[in-house]
Structure 1
Amino acid sequence: MPRRAKISVIGGGNVGASCALWAASKELGDIVVLDIPQQEDVVKGKMLDLLECSPIERFDCNITGTSDYADIADSDVVVVTAGIPRKPGMSRDDLIATNVKIVNSVSENIKQHAPKAIVIVVSNPLDAMVYTAWKSTGFPTNQIVGQAGALDVARYRTFIAMELGVSVEDIQALLLGGHGDDMVPLPRYTSVHGIPVQQLMSDEKINACVERAKVGGGEIVKLMGTSAYYAPASGVIQMVEAIVKDKKRIIPSAAYCDKEYGVGGYFVGVPALLGKDGVEKIIEIDLDGDEKKLMDESISHVKELVKVVRDTFPELA
């Protein structure tokens, strides 16, 4: 009997718990969700609650809540959601300083207990945290990837489907670059069941969908006072499924690029082929002048974030 995949999630808050829910519902493998010792009983309770859904939802997997990193041993994939959200009055640099310490500590434990795992980083600011996880683990670049593009594209597709009154399943789309304001929209690569979206929507309406996707996270924070979690977790599990099932799916991801797109050795949002070895290939697409300008701006912002990490924590340079 083949061994089940093992998926570990570091951080048992809203995003981490939602990752466990989506992974269980898709029966992707055994699941471990780890949180800090002060939250051990809470995360154990959440995961027991989820396990008790299995007879009704008909999934077979082991689901464990823990605070002991030994429990993530032999993981195929480790998802990192740990970190604090940005609070009112907190600068970007303050957020980076706090979350680099958290992600650095988490990454060192992953290196010790799950050295063969593919690591998917969700913590913010994403581009800086993926870099931190890479430096802290010392893993090959194919083993480290960040989730942002899957979420941004899902939002973009949702808004186009809402505008056109069609199924979201028929929308194909692509976005590059950083998360949120730094994303690079690509309407030329957006279609509805193969029909170019420009034949179905005005440029004005397409741009409105792009702009709404850019601020999609902020829109949800304004409505409910906390960050989104169902959709970010869904984006993560789309990536997890591609890896544990070796599906070779092309999913926009924060992946390491050197010569690709002229990046020069940073993790940026690009179409990445995901399979059992993690990021197995970067897909380079042709960009026109305007798209390349936006992509270069996005890359420059990633470099600024990484510079803050390097300046604040020289050991990660």
Structure 2
Amino acid sequence: MKVWGAGDIDAAGDAKTLLVEPKDLVTPLARERARELGIEIVAAGSTPAAPAAAPATPRPQAGPETPGGPVRSMRPPSGALYRRGAPLPSANTSAGRVVVIGAGHVGMITALRLADADLFDELVLVDIDEGRAAGVALDLTHTAALGGFATRVRGTGSVEDAGPADYVVITAGRARQPGMSRSDLVSTNAAIVGDLAHRVARTSPHAVIVVVTNPLDEMTQHAWQASGFPPERVVGMAGVLDTARFQALASLAGAGRADRIGAVALGSHGEEMVIPLSQASSGGRPLTELIGKTTLDAIVDRARGSGAEVVGLLRSGSAFMAPGTSAAGMVLAMARDRGQIMPAAVLADGSYGIRDVYLGLPARLGRGGVREIVELDLRPDELQVLRQAADRIKERLSQLAAAS
């Protein structure tokens, strides 16, 4: 199996037809790029035909989807698996209600991206400061004509008042301050996330929960346990964010447009973040051929510490534009139900030799959450550090359990 990204389409040059194997995965952005260049994507053994319009996405139905077995691939999923402005479902198709808990900076950006997508009937912002939630919601409503969306937006002070939702994004929690690590937030944010997950489970028993609160891996596992939901319906956001950071930094180093760099960030959202360079490419070429080893290693290190770098520059608060956009991108990928592959904090099911812990792995997303964990063909050294990341997260979870 091969995953075809936008960079692979660009590398096809003047070809009018691109032949792929029946089991190959062509990302939505790659298909869009092929349409722009007039390239037909044809599965081996089939007759070339004009590209068909993307089917309308059905309204999500309640209930989990059972993840399938691992899918092995010699190439990574394209890092650009979604983007604002991609084709949307037909105007008469909606995805119900989405709730964003926390009307701080991350929650505001998440809400903005979700509203702009014009996909949901209603978006509800929830914050303990009800006036803030209502004010942000009204301000966002005022952009409806400018953004071209019909999604209703309102703010409230409680999960219960928000009403049953199809998707719930938890951004609430204490943000990092200069000098703090993500792990410093464990006990404070565990109490917040645990209470919210429990209340979400009562109010929206069929929802998918997306956790953004730090420390991400530990808080996602804590939310899963507190909610009682099946693991496919509780996911963490960090992998999309860390991948985007790496793509942006690699682009600054001359590797090409950020959205056409294929890469994937796995492991922990923190010191144990793993970016397997064997899976990184741009324009169909390995990134190791485009950027020197010393520079590439420095980019990985900077991506790993990008959150702290932003915190230090801001001096008060933490990153919010990229995190909010990443969270919204995950929700939209699930609501559109196109089987997009994104790195996400998921409960390991034995893939990669890891089990029973939440950490960043490539996951195929659908309307009910995680459909399956996608297993890439990593080098032995990359697999080793990924397993080490899982062990470190387990250690921190043990400390959290002992402290509670």
- Determine helix, strand or coil for the equivalent of 1:181: coil
Aligned partners of 2:372, 2:163: CA distance in 1, in Å? Answer: 27
Aligned partners of 1:131, 1:72: CA distance in 2, in Å? Answer: 24
Is 1:13 matched up with 2:104?
A: yes
Partner of 2:156: 66
Aligned partners of 2:243, 2:94: CA distance in 1, in Å? Answer: 33
Partner of 2:266: 176
Q: Which residue type is aligned with residue 111 of structure 1?
A: A
Quote the offset at 1:167 in angstroms. 1.6
Q: Whose helix fraction is larger, Structure 1's or Structure 2's?
A: 1
Q: Which residue type is aligned with residue 307 of structure 2?
A: G
Partner of 1:35: 127
Structure 1 segment 184-199 matched on structure 2, within 5 A:
184-199=274-289
Aligned partners of 2:132, 2:398: CA distance in 1, in Å? Answer: 37
Aligned partners of 1:187, 1:88: CA distance in 2, in Å? Answer: 30
Partner of 1:264: 355
Quote the offset at 1:127 in angstroms. 1.1
Structure 1 segment 208-219 matched on structure 2, within 5 A:
208-219=298-309
Aligned partners of 2:384, 2:198: CA distance in 1, in Å? Answer: 37
TM-score by length of 2: 0.74
Structure 1 segment 105-120 matched on structure 2, within 5 A:
105-120=195-210
Quote the offset at 1:204 in angstroms. 1.4
Structure 1 segment 138-157 matched on structure 2, within 5 A:
138-157=228-247
- Determine helix, strand or coil for the equivalent of 2:193: helix
Partner of 1:25: 116
Aligned partners of 2:403, 2:182: CA distance in 1, in Å? Answer: 13
Aligned partners of 1:264, 1:165: CA distance in 2, in Å? Answer: 35
Structure 1 segment 119-130 matched on structure 2, within 5 A:
119-130=209-220
Aligned partners of 2:306, 2:184: CA distance in 1, in Å? Answer: 23
Contact kept? 2:102, 2:171, Cα under 8 Å: yes
Structure number with greater Rg is: 2
Quote the offset at 1:91 in angstroms. 7.9
Identity of aligned residues (%): 36
Question: Tell me, which stretches of 5 or more residues in structure 2 are unaligned?
Answer: 1-91
| RMSD between superposed Cα atoms in Å | 1.7
Aligned partners of 1:208, 1:181: CA distance in 2, in Å? Answer: 14
- Aligned structure 1 segments of 4 or more residues deviating by more than 6 angstroms: 88-93
- Determine helix, strand or coil for the equivalent of 2:375: coil
> Which protein has greater RCO, CA pairs closer than 8 Å, 6+ apart?
2
- Determine helix, strand or coil for the equivalent of 2:242: helix
Quote the offset at 1:165 in angstroms. 6.1
TM-score by length of 1: 0.94
Contact kept? 1:72, 1:114, Cα under 8 Å: no
1:237 to 328, 331, 340: 328
Quote the offset at 1:293 in angstroms. 2.0
Aligned partners of 1:265, 1:165: CA distance in 2, in Å? Answer: 37
Structure 1 segment 158-169 matched on structure 2, within 5 A:
158-164=248-254, 166-169=256-259
Deviations 1:20-69 (A, max 9, x none): 01111222312111011xx1111101110010011122111100110132
Aligned partners of 1:224, 1:89: CA distance in 2, in Å? Answer: 12
